[in-house]
Structure 1
Amino acid sequence: MGKLIRVVSTGLFGAALTAAIGIPAHAGPGQGGSGHAGPAQGGSAQGGSARAETVPGQLPHAGWRLKDTGTDARFRGLAAVSRDTAWLAGSKGTVLRTTDGGRSWRDVSPPGAGELEFRDVEAFGARRAVVLAIGEGEASRVLRTEDGGATWTESFRNTDARAFYDCMTFFDSRHGIALSDPVDGKYRILSTGDGGRSWRVLPSDGMPAAQPGEAAFAASGQCLVSSGGRHAWLATGGAATSRVLHSADRGRTWSATDTPVPAGDPARGVFALAFRDSRHGLAVGGDYRAGQPSPRAAAVSRDGGATWTAAGQPPPAYRSGAAWLPHTVSAALAVGPTGTDLTTDAGRSWHTLDDGSYDTVDCAPDLGCWAAGERGRAARLEFQLVP
Structure 2
Amino acid sequence: MAIGVCGAALAAALAAPAQADAPSGTADGVRDGAQARTGWPGWQLTHTGTDVRFRGLAAVSRSTAWAAGSQGTVLRTTDGGRSWQDVSPPGAADEKLEFRDIEAFDRRRAVVLAIGEGEASRMLRTEDGGATWTETFRNTEPQAFYDCVTFFDRRHGLAMSDPVDGRFRILSTVDGGRSWTVLPDDGMPPALEGEAGFAASGQCLVSSGPKDVWLTTGGGSHARVLHSADRGLTWTAVDTPIPAGEPARGVFAVAFQGRTHGIAVGGDYRTGEASPQAAARSTDGGRSWTPSAEPPPAYRSGVTWLPHSRKAALAVGPTGTDLTTDGGRTWRTVDTGSYDTVDCTRDRACWASGEQGRIARLRY
TM band (smaller chain): over 0.9
**Match for residue 296 of structure 2?**
315
Q: TM-score, normalised by structure 2?
A: 0.93
Residue from 306, 310, 324 that aligns with 1:329: 310
Gapped regions of structure 2 (runs ≥ 5)? 17-23
**Match for residue 4 of structure 1?**
none
Q: Cα deviation per residue 1:221-248 (whole Å; 9 max; x = unaligned)? A: 0000000000000000001110000000
Are 2:202 and 1:225 aligned?
no
**Match for residue 278 of structure 1?**
259
Cα displacement (A) at 1:54: 7.2
**Match for residue 91 of structure 2?**
112
Distance 1:168 1:66 in 2: 26
Q: Check conservation: 2:115, 2:121, Cα contact below 8 A.
A: yes
Cα displacement (A) at 1:161: 0.6
Cα displacement (A) at 1:18: 5.5
Cα displacement (A) at 1:192: 0.1
Distance 1:17 1:335 in 2: 18
Q: 1:96 to 1:260 in 2, by over 3 A?
A: same
For 2:139, the aligned partner's letter is N
**Match for residue 181 of structure 1?**
162
Cα displacement (A) at 1:367: 1.4
**Match for residue 204 of structure 1?**
185
Distance 2:40 2:228 in 1: 39
Are 2:75 and 1:96 aligned?
yes
Q: TM-score, normalised by structure 1?
A: 0.88
- Percent of pairs identical after alignment? 70
For 1:78, the aligned partner's letter is L
Distance 1:45 1:202 in 2: 45
Residue from 34, 37, 58 that aligns with 1:51: 34
Q: Check conservation: 1:50, 1:62, Cα contact below 8 A.
A: no
Q: Check conservation: 2:4, 2:308, Cα contact below 8 A.
A: no
Q: Check conservation: 2:308, 2:346, Cα contact below 8 A.
A: yes
For 1:20, the aligned partner's letter is A
Q: Check conservation: 1:339, 1:357, Cα contact below 8 A.
A: yes
Q: What SS is found at the alignment partner of 1:198?
A: coil
Q: Check conservation: 2:8, 2:308, Cα contact below 8 A.
A: no
Q: Check conservation: 1:223, 1:235, Cα contact below 8 A.
A: yes
**Match for residue 16 of structure 1?**
9
For 1:223, the aligned partner's letter is C
Distance 2:80 2:260 in 1: 32
Q: Check conservation: 2:36, 2:42, Cα contact below 8 A.
A: no
Cα displacement (A) at 1:276: 1.1
Q: Check conservation: 2:11, 2:306, Cα contact below 8 A.
A: no
Cα displacement (A) at 1:62: 1.6
Between the two proteins, the alignment pairs up a number of residues equal to 351
Residue from 337, 353, 360 that aligns with 1:372: 353
Q: What SS is found at the alignment partner of 2:363?
A: strand
Q: Cα deviation per residue 1:89-129 (whole Å; 9 max; x = unaligned)? A: 00000000000111100000000011100000000110000
Gapped regions of structure 1 (runs ≥ 5)? 1-8, 24-43
**Match for residue 237 of structure 2?**
256
Distance 2:206 2:179 in 1: 20
RMSD: 1.7
**Match for residue 33 of structure 1?**
none
Distance 1:355 1:155 in 2: 39
Q: Cα deviation per residue 1:267-321 (whole Å; 9 max; x = unaligned)? A: 0000000001100000000000000000000000000000000000000000000
Q: Check conservation: 2:147, 2:204, Cα contact below 8 A.
A: yes
For 2:105, the aligned partner's letter is F
Cα displacement (A) at 1:153: 0.3
Q: Check conservation: 1:45, 1:377, Cα contact below 8 A.
A: no
Are 2:38 and 1:76 aligned?
no
Q: Check conservation: 2:220, 2:246, Cα contact below 8 A.
A: yes
Are 2:338 and 1:357 aligned?
yes
Distance 2:68 2:11 in 1: 32
Q: What SS is found at the alignment partner of 2:315?
A: strand
**Match for residue 87 of structure 1?**
66
Q: 1:183 to 1:306 in 2, by over 3 A?
A: same
Distance 2:244 2:257 in 1: 25
Residue from 143, 150, 153 that aligns with 2:124: 143
Distance 2:70 2:15 in 1: 40
Distance 2:298 2:289 in 1: 19
For 2:35, the aligned partner's letter is A
**Match for residue 214 of structure 1?**
195
Distance 1:17 1:63 in 2: 11
More RCO (CA 8 Å, sep 6+): 1
Q: What SS is found at the alignment partner of 1:244?
A: strand
Distance 1:271 1:292 in 2: 15
